[in-house]
Structure 1
């Protein structure tokens, strides 16, 4: 098993370069045996961004229709992967796929998902720790794709990722899984 024992920093880029000056989205990823820690930092003039308000943390669908942090875990050398959706409202969901966008199912190994949010004038930080044992992948080599959807004040969505390997924004694209953990 490959284990990240140091934090790996990342910077996301928008699919549409016209959104480069909207905000910045960066973070760190850290794997320590059975746990995956991920931290997102959105920085800049957050008044330009619609940030869903904090309520009760609920499992919900379609979080990607608004500002939402996402990441994807794939078992190395397979097509099976999970999609994690984390809204600044505290809402969340996890989906499991057997192949590229095929056989989608809610991942029921988690009945709740808690993450820390810190919102200041020019920064929004999200911190999450995932117990990989719940997915039975703690001892497995994994590939990771990281992304974010940002909704601006005009209700337009921009799609941010480590890399955009297709002609359209596609966070599920197999070539997006570029971090090995």
Structure 2
């Protein structure tokens, strides 16, 4: 699993590590998993039911960026343990943002233990750009006391910026059975 790193300007309280990876990709679903170690003080948003919502990044949420390798455009998918989600198109880095249509809502599940949490998401494959793709995994983690840390595959600036193309480090092959 690729390891995410926390932005040095926003250290976590107890979270020790976050790993993220694609666990399956077929013609129907892209399945993604984030594993959080040190989750004893993790703030988990209350269940809100499926539905689009903005500003999910204000508390614990998980994000996936997907970009065709030769294009400036990319998509951002935000996923919350509350089951709220959103997807956006961008024409370039933080430019031309619009809501991305999805053929059905993603499925999200959070399993929380005493030291480890697992967040799984299944995204409808027909709502994503065609593979191959470059992917950026990220997470905003809120812990008790308002401590927020920002995790990505890489950080290149003084402030967290998940839209930085330097964060899109993983390669996503075409789905199996497609």
**1:47 is matched with which residue?**
40
- 1:2-42 per-residue CA deviation (whole Å, 9 max, x = no partner) reads xxxxxxx1111100277266212113224535342211111
Q: Quick one: distance in 1 between partners of 2:44 and 2:25?
A: 31
Structure 2 unaligned regions, length at least 5: 173-178
**1:77 is matched with which residue?**
70
Answering whether residue 143 of structure 2 is matched by residue 158 of structure 1, we say: no
Shift of 1:101: 0.7
**2:175 is matched with which residue?**
none
Q: Quick one: distance in 1 between partners of 2:12 and 2:142?
A: 13
**2:108 is matched with which residue?**
115
TM-score computed with the length of structure 2 as normaliser: 0.86
Answering whether residue 58 of structure 2 is matched by residue 104 of structure 1, we say: no
Q: Quick one: distance in 2 between partners of 1:26 and 1:63?
A: 20
3-state DSSP of counterpart to 1:47: coil
Q: Quick one: distance in 2 between partners of 1:128 and 1:62?
A: 18
Structure 1 unaligned regions, length at least 5: 1-8
Instruction: Tell me how many residue pairs correspond in the alignment.
Output: 170
Q: Quick one: distance in 2 between partners of 1:149 and 1:106?
A: 20
Q: Quick one: distance in 2 between partners of 1:142 and 1:60?
A: 25
1:16 to 5, 8, 32: 8
Shift of 1:102: 0.8
Question: What do you get for the CA RMSD once the two structures are aligned?
Answer: 1.9
Contact 1:13 1:20 in 2 (8 A): no
TM-score computed with the length of structure 1 as normaliser: 0.84
Distance 1:17 1:166, change over 3 A: closer
**1:4 is matched with which residue?**
none
Shift of 1:94: 0.7
